[in-house]
Structure 1
Amino acid sequence: LEGTREEVAAISKVVPSAQTQQLLGEHALEAAVKSELERAAVIHIATHGYFANDLDEDLTNDSSRGESLGPRQTSSMLAARNPLLQCGLTLAGCNCDVWVDANGLPVDGGQDGYLSAEEIMGMDLGKARLVVLSACETGLGNIGSGEGVFGLQRALHISGVKSTIASGWKVDDRATQQLMTEMYRRMFADKLTPADALHAAQLRVLRQFNPQTGQLDERNAKPAPPYYWAAFSLSGAF
């Protein structure tokens, strides 16, 4: 994803390096990601989020952090009649027509680069106190009568995650980088709770983000529109 390497680099400057493990690019394979997820206390995921509500968009388009699945992936998911199969995260190798391992042998569907909400629900993420989904529309899902929203956040909480932060619409890449960096700085340097850190970061982006430069500027006289700072919300333990 365009901008995510810069986002990770900026966040790493405000988070103690001894406590971090990064999986970037081709290293973010599904098996590796699953393994790290079950060991981490704070998880930051910056990748495409998908929600199967539009069959015409191309998942491999790098211009946005949120895409809809292509017809091949979506048709099989919809056939399953499971709302937790209709949303998830894309990882390295997701845009390959045939998935093979290091020896060139086909891999099973559980390692195809698509980490669905249903797969997440079956994991043990009890060590994670916070998962941040720095992607578009990761807070969306299907609404079940009397059941609430079936989506990524629900799956993460069922798997044991204490708190999640996800977005409600397609986010601006540069504003998200600034927001996330400020949020982690507030969490680790100022010892704020995730909810308070997110709130403080949103206020700073509201007051100082310049859409023209993509930077925070204390001299910025015009508040940034909600599109740039209000997409992310926290659920779970505050």
Structure 2
Amino acid sequence: MIVANPTFDQPGTTTQIASAERGNTRSIDLATLKFGPLPATAIEGDTIAKLLPNSRLFTQAQATETVIKTNTNPRILHLATHGFFLKSAPTTQAKDGSSNLPNENPLLRSGLAFSGFNMRQGGGDDGVLTALEITGMDLRGTQLVVLSACETGLGDVQSGEGVYGLRRAFTLAGAQAQVMTLWRVDDNATKDLMVNYYQRLNKGEGRGDALRQTQLAMLKSQNYAHPKFWSGMIPAGDWRGMNP
């Protein structure tokens, strides 16, 4: 299952699904967060779909939060979009001199953006898929989740909580392995990296080694030799080859 190139400024088709409670989300930050288009993800999604014969491709208005929630147990789940991580609320000082730590779940501050994200009109599908909502998905049997997501580490990237939140969520949902980014990544470079990665997976290379060999190839390339283009992509979970 491939979800790529969402139309962030238009609400997609919706099916009413109860969203996770977001009572303690950073509503002010989330309300002002906007994302621009990722044109290379359209090419990425289309190319990968051709490499995976039985794949289902959802793009633009069809690249919704709902379509991800309602399609359970895909062998591969590829999400090419924006990711975000909102900073924790600051620690406040009580009158007695003690510190009041923010009571916020990091799984509510980590997430992915899909069709209609910039509109966020509420309802069951608002274009925001939080890490907490991901924990409620059924991904048992999913051998690989790839977050080809620019700005996955948006926010306090030094703490690593953004990446940790999404990784933990997909693991709890049952995914065997994940590929994700530690920081903002280049749209075109990521597209080329992902296409090469899936070509190697098709040859039977392991989920971890295929990524390593792809990154080594980019290191030797003329356009993407700088580590900023490829070193932020990391594997987690089962590193071996996938079952047919």
TM over 0.5: yes
Alignment RMSD (CA, Å): 2.5
Could you tell me the TM-score, scaled by structure 2's length? Answer: 0.70
Q: For the residues of structure 1 that align with 2:229 and 2:151, how far apart are their CA atoms?
A: 14
Aligned CA distance change for structure 1 residues 233 and 27 (closer, same or farther; 3 Å): same
Moved over 2 A (4+): 12-16, 136-144
Cα distance, 1:10 vs structure 2: 2.2
Q: Which amino acid aligns with 1:4?
A: T
Give 5+ residue unaligned stretches, structure 1. 56-78, 100-106, 212-223
SS in 2 for 1:95: coil
Matches within 5 A, 1:105-144: 107-108=123-124, 111-138=125-152
Conserved in 2, the CA contact under 8 Å of 1:171 and 1:231?
yes
Q: Among residues 13, 21, 25, which one is paired with 2:50 in the alignment?
A: 13
Give 5+ residue unaligned stretches, structure 2. 1-37, 90-101, 240-244
Deviations 1:147-191 (A, max 9, x none): x97410110001100000000111111111111000000001x11
Q: Do structure 1's residue 210 and structure 2's residue 218 form an aligned pair?
A: no
Conserved in 1, the CA contact under 8 Å of 2:163 and 2:181?
no
What residue is the counterpart of 1:233 in the other structure? 234
What residue is the counterpart of 1:43 in the other structure? 77
Conserved in 2, the CA contact under 8 Å of 1:134 and 1:166?
yes
What residue is the counterpart of 1:86 in the other structure? 109
Could you tell me the TM-score, scaled by structure 1's length? Answer: 0.72
Q: For the residues of structure 2 that align with 1:125 and 1:6, how far apart are their CA atoms?
A: 26
Q: Do structure 1's residue 194 and structure 2's residue 207 form an aligned pair?
A: yes
Identity in percent: 38
Conserved in 1, the CA contact under 8 Å of 2:137 and 2:173?
yes
Q: For the residues of structure 1 that align with 2:148 and 2:163, how far apart are their CA atoms?
A: 19
SS in 2 for 1:24: strand
Q: Among residues 150, 155, 164, which one is paired with 2:178 in the alignment?
A: 164
Conserved in 2, the CA contact under 8 Å of 1:142 and 1:150?
no
Cα distance, 1:206 vs structure 2: 1.1
What residue is the counterpart of 1:4 in the other structure? 41
Paired residue total: 188
Conserved in 2, the CA contact under 8 Å of 1:83 and 1:141?
no
